[in-house]
Amino acid sequence: MVDVPATTVLVHSPFLGPATLRPLADALTAHGHPVVLLDLRVSVNSAPVHQRMIGEFADAVDNSAVEGGLVLVGHSGAGPLLPAFAYALETEVDALVYVDADLPTPGKSWRETFSPELMAHMRKISREDVMPRWDRWFPPEVLPALIPDPVQLAEILEEAPEVPLAFLKEQRPSVPWPGPSAYLRLSGEYADAAAAARAQGWPVDELELHHLAAATHPEQVAAALVELLSRL
């Protein structure tokens, strides 16, 4: 079992920013769980994005002066990098938790895990080899339906970076993780990832919310996260 006082390190998607996880961080803190919320946006604006993210992650955790064991929680696109993040730290990592995230695919690129149609779409909407902000990948009505608070939505969109298209072609790190892992599904889009995690014997919890529910339903997500940690 993971010691609950272990510090939870929240890692946002490379295509979004910490505002997507800040309400979750506040909910965990209010319940007495120490949290570090990272901001890795500076690392995703030029290639090689994976290596820059890992380096920025390690520096940010070191600069936080956190003590004791850590639980790394990766949302969405941060999930495949969790083993590499853990490997980059000198501080002991107790567990990894994937929140509505892809699982690691060591040695494979994002492009190899996408459908050819999606990759063609990303090339089409990119300009000068830079992908548009994440919200511009979808019809304009999609995100307001998920995040009805216009102030919160504006904060999330303002943080969303433009990421080089080359990121999708970079090989993901091949780093083993021998420790415990868990999976928290928030949306139906990640049902396959949750099923794959369960097939590996991981603790899995599934909430019928949406991909950005850590921002809009932080208490529910925090409760599920704490319960998962108790099962590790």
The pairing of beta strand 93-99 with beta strand 35-37 = unpaired
The pLDDT > 70 percentage for the chain reads 98
pLDDT at 110 over 60: yes
Note whether residue 152 is domain-resident: no
Q: What pLDDT sits at residue 187? A: 98
* 127-150 average pLDDT score: 94
pLDDT at residue 177 is higher than 80: yes
Q: What is the model's pLDDT at position 118?
A: 87
Q: Is residue 113 very low, low, confident or very high in pLDDT (cuts 50, 70, 90)?
A: confident
Question: Which residue is it, tokens 């994440």?
Answer: 134
Report, as an integer, the average pLDDT of 170-199.
Answer: 97
- pLDDT for 2 equals 57
Asked whether residue 148 is assigned to any structural domain, the reply reads: no
pLDDT (mean) for 67-87: 96
> Crossing angle, helix 218-230 and helix 22-30, to 10 degrees?
60
Distances (CA, A) of 41 to 35, 46, 215: 19, 11, 18
Assess if residue 30 is contained within a domain: yes
Check residues 4 and 147 and name the one with the higher pLDDT. Answer: 147
Q: What is the mean pLDDT of residues 195-209?
A: 98
pLDDT value of residue 221: 99
Query: What CATH number did the domain enclosing 212 receive?
Result: 3.40.50.1820
pLDDT tens-digit map of 11-62: 999 999 999 999 999 999 998 999 999 999 999 999 999 999 999 999 999 9
Q: What are phi and psi of 114, to 5 degrees?
A: -85, 160
Residue 179 CA, distance from chain mean position: 18
Provide the domain limits for residue 193. 7-107+172-230
* Tokens encoding 218: 């932080």
Is the per-residue pLDDT at 5 higher than 80?
no
**pLDDT tens by residue, 158-167:** 999 999 999 9
User: Quick one: average pLDDT of 175-184?
Assistant: 97
pLDDT of residue 1: 55
3-state secondary structure the chain: CCCCCCEEEEECCCCCCHHHCHHHHHHHHHCCCCEEECCCHHHHCCCCHHHHHHHHHHHHHHHCCCCCCEEEEEEHHHHHHHHHHHHCCCCCEEEEEEECCCCCCCCCEHHHHCCHHHHHHHHHHCECCECCCHHHHCCCCHHHHHCCCHHHHHHHHHHCCCCEHHHHHCECCCCCCCCCEEEEECCHHHHHHHHHHHHCCCCEEECCCCCCHHHHCHHHHHHHHHHHHHCC
State how many domains the chain has. Answer: 1
35: its two tokens: 């949290």
**Is pLDDT of 4 > 80?**
no
